[in-house]
Amino acid sequence: MTPMEEQVESIVDGILEDYRHGRAIDKMDHFCHPDKEIIIDMIGKLMRIVYPGSTRDKTYRIYNMRHNLSMLIEDVMYNLNKQLTLVYKSQLGEAAAAEKAQELSVEFFRAIPGVRAIAQTDVEAFFDGDPAAFSVDEIIFCYPGLFAITVYRLAHVLYTLGVPLIPRIMTEHAHSVTGIDINPGATIGSYFFIDHGTGIVVGETTVIGDHVKVYQGVTLGALTTRGGQNLRGKKRHPTIEDNVTIYAGASILGGGTVIGRDSVIGSNVFITQSIPPCTTVSVKSQELQYKPRNCEGNCRTCTNPEPFWEGQVKSET
């Protein structure tokens, strides 16, 4: 054995010994947790079920829509059953877990028409609210906000059925892909529109009404998390009523905070108290200062004495 091999053996022994402390991070049973890769694959297939004309797996022929959909559903249901069984096996035992998994899988798929009905309103909100959108197909194919919302709506069904872990894996995948973090426990009404989307955070107990529009960088969060697990189950995140628009960078915090219907929340505001309906909230405009730079005659302004942007102020020399 070479010196390097001896070092590797010693390192392996040391880490194996570290696994024997019995801590939460020391679990070594790989068969009691769902498989993230399988769940991510399921998301792709579920998106084809929700939006049948948007994507297609070449392994499925399209000559008969009924047969195609049947194979797609059987594929997802088989994998969902397996993942649900893994989630419940340690609590219920394998036989009872398998039975519960089948019941939940059927309930989940029976909810798909309802998910599609509200997804249609989301697509309409995107198209009506974004003049840069040239078609519905463009929204379904390209918009990360719609992807994040649709994954949330599917995960929310499992969340309301009491399924642990899997809904969070689904929405965290959407988060990693889009930068939009929607907890599966949030309650979101119809015609929800996310514009641009990167950096949006929607906490677990957030309640959002109908026809709400949210821009990038918005946080709908908790006022404090110092209570840790003692806060579980309590309303920690704000309520946004119908027809509210929240512009980029706004932070709205606290379970008791209610943004009244038909309000407009301006960019970069920080709100921790309720806002009455039909209110516009904005930060007072900041004063901009302009100071001439000492660029030793090398910049465009010095070489070209004519202003190159409207309203330019020349410094007196």
β-pairing verdict for 219-221 and 251-253: parallel
According to DSSP, the residues that pair with 253 across neighbouring strands are 221
- Of the listed ranges 28-37, 93-102, 256-265, 280-289, the least confidently predicted one is 28-37
- Work out the angle at residue 88's Cα, subtended by the Cα atoms of residues 150 and 227, and round it to the nearest 5 degrees: 70
pLDDT digits (tens, 9 = 90+) for 178-201: 999 999 999 999 999 999 999 999
Average the pLDDT over 134-153 and give the result. 95
Q: Is the model's pLDDT at 148 over the cut of 60?
A: yes
Q: What is the pTM of this model?
A: 0.85
Average the pLDDT over 33-55 and give the result. 90
CA 258 from chain centre, in angstroms, equals 22
For residue 305, what are the CA distances in angstroms to 36, 84, 280, 298, 311?
61, 71, 43, 12, 14
Record: fold of 29-181: serine acetyltransferase, domain 1 (1.10.3130)
- For the chain, the average pLDDT equals 88
Banded model confidence at residue 45, pLDDT cuts 50, 70, 90 = very high
CATH number 2.160.10.10 given to 186-283: yes
Q: Is the model's pLDDT at 146 over the cut of 80?
A: yes
Banded model confidence at residue 67, pLDDT cuts 50, 70, 90 = confident
* HEC sequence for the chain: CCHHHHHHHHHHHHHHHHHHHCCHHHCCCCCCCCCHHHHHHHHHHHHHHHCCCCCCCCCCCCCCHHHHHHHHHHHHHHHHHHHHHHHHHHHHCHHHHHHHHHHHHHHHHHCHHHHHHHHHHHHHHHHHHCCCCCCHHHHHHHCHHHHHHHHHHHHHHHHHCCCCCHHHHHHHHHHHHHCCEECCCCEECCCCEEECCCCCEECCCCEECCCCEEECCCEEECCCCCCHHHHCCCCCCCEECCCCEECCCCEEECCCCEECCCCEECCCCEECCCECCCCEECCCCCCCCCCCCCCCCCCHHHHCCCCCCCCCCCCCC
Q: Is the model's pLDDT at 238 over the cut of 90?
A: yes
pLDDT at 71: 87
- How far apart are alpha carbons 169 and 184 in whole angstroms? 10
Banded model confidence at residue 3, pLDDT cuts 50, 70, 90 = confident
pLDDT at 64: 66
User: When comparing pLDDT for 47 and 64, which is higher?
Assistant: 47
- How far apart are alpha carbons 152 and 169 in whole angstroms? 11
User: When comparing pLDDT for 300 and 36, which is higher?
Assistant: 36
pLDDT at 20: 87
Q: Which residue has the tokens 């946004």?
A: 240
User: When comparing pLDDT for 308 and 164, which is higher?
Assistant: 164
Cα radius of gyration rounded to whole Å, the chain: 26
pLDDT at 196: 93
CATH 2.160.10.10 positions along the chain are 186-283
Q: Is the model's pLDDT at 83 over the cut of 60?
A: yes
CATH 1.10.3130.10 positions along the chain are 29-181
pLDDT at 182: 98
Q: What are phi and psi of 18, to 5 degrees?
A: -65, -30
Most confident segment among 69-83, 192-206, 301-315: 192-206
